[in-house]
Amino acid sequence: MPATSTIEQRSLAVEECLKINKGLSTISLLDNWRNETFPVYGPEGQVLLNIERCASALFGIVTYGVQLLCYVNCKEGPRLWIAKRSERKQTYPGMLDTTAAGGLGSGILPFDALISEAYEEASISEDTVRAKAKPMNELTYFHVRGNKAGGESGLFQPEVEYTYAMELDQTIIPRPRDNEVESFQLFTVDEVLDHLKKGCFKPNSAIVVVEFLIQHGILNCVNEPNYDAIISHLHRKLEFPTLIQSSK
């Protein structure tokens, strides 16, 4: 393909190749075809092409997502609204998750995606999100796909996660709205820590919970001997073209 080709031409060429392989049934990742695309950025932050979401891990491109963690302040400390993923999910079925989360598709701004996911997954209104959601840090990390990720395991994938925390009063209760979330439960910090240690959380949601605990001083260099290593894993330098957008 010539260097003068357009984004649409590049995207179509890749899509046609992927659909041929999907038809051959040689790559199980492609069985999860979503008709949703992720952008592939060049070194100047320009979009080179858009690629089917389920195929992104095959190429090791940087993928992007948003995650919201809601909490209630109680006398004994914060309690976190934790989602349980549906057993019918293509990826990480039945595992614990943040309150709302989703991939950041092509042409969508992080905060717009957050508003959409909060409503679709947790029945939280746009007005509430706009008024109360506060950005935490962007997390930049490498993710190795495990056997619950859907499709081939062991694939090494760089990711950027836009993370948000939102304090709710006890009158606002997240409720499943689509078929992606089975239920919500208000966990104490001790319960969250116990489930983290047992590996019950979806991996890239677990790190958002860890970031929340750090932001609130619950996890620190005094009580966690591996604190510096944790920080380095949450904020890796990605040696690939990466675009960090505004969180608001």
Q: Is 211 a member of any domain?
A: yes
Residues 53 and 171 both lie in one domain: no
- Asked whether residue 187 falls in the same domain as residue 75, the answer is yes
| Shared-domain flag, residues 42 and 142 | no
Number of structural domains found in the chain: 2
Q: Which domain holds residue 97?
A: 63-234
Q: Are residues 79 and 92 in the same domain?
A: yes
105 and 166 share one domain: yes
Cα–Cα distance for residue pair 206/98, rounded to 1 Å: 8
Q: Are residues 132 and 197 in the same domain?
A: yes
Single out the residue in 59, 79, 95 at which a domain terminates: 59
Q: ∠ CA(149), CA(151), CA(157), 5° rounding?
A: 60
Distances (CA, A) of 86 to 48, 83, 94, 151, 237: 34, 9, 5, 18, 33
Q: Do both 98 and 216 map to the same domain?
A: yes
Listed residue (49, 18, 14) closest to 31, CA to CA = 18
Tens digit of pLDDT at every position of the chain (248 positions): 777 899 999 999 999 999 999 999 999 999 989 899 999 999 998 999 999 999 999 998 999 999 999 999 998 889 999 999 999 888 899 999 999 999 998 889 999 999 999 999 999 999 999 999 999 999 999 988 888 888 888 998 999 999 999 999 989 999 999 888 999 999 999 999 999 999 999 999 999 999 999 999 999 999 999 999 999 999 999 988 898 988 88
Q: Are residues 72 and 54 in the same domain?
A: no
Same domain? 14 vs 69: no
Q: Is residue 163 part of a domain?
A: yes
Q: Is residue 223 part of a domain?
A: yes
pTM for the model = 0.93
Residue with tokens 């836009």: 162
Q: What is the CATH number of the domain that holds 137?
A: 3.90.79.10
Q: How many residues are listed for the chain in this entry?
A: 248
Q: Is residue 29 located within the same domain as residue 78? A: no
Question: What is the greatest pairwise CA distance in the chain?
Answer: 63
Q: Do 41 and 75 lie in a common domain? A: no
Q: Flag whether 116 is in a domain.
A: yes
Residue 242 placed within a domain: no
Degrees, nearest 5: CA angle 30-51-63: 95
Residue 1 lies in a domain: no
Is 246 part of any domain? no
On whether both 47 and 118 belong to a single domain, the answer is no
244 part of a folded domain: no
pLDDT of residue 106: 87
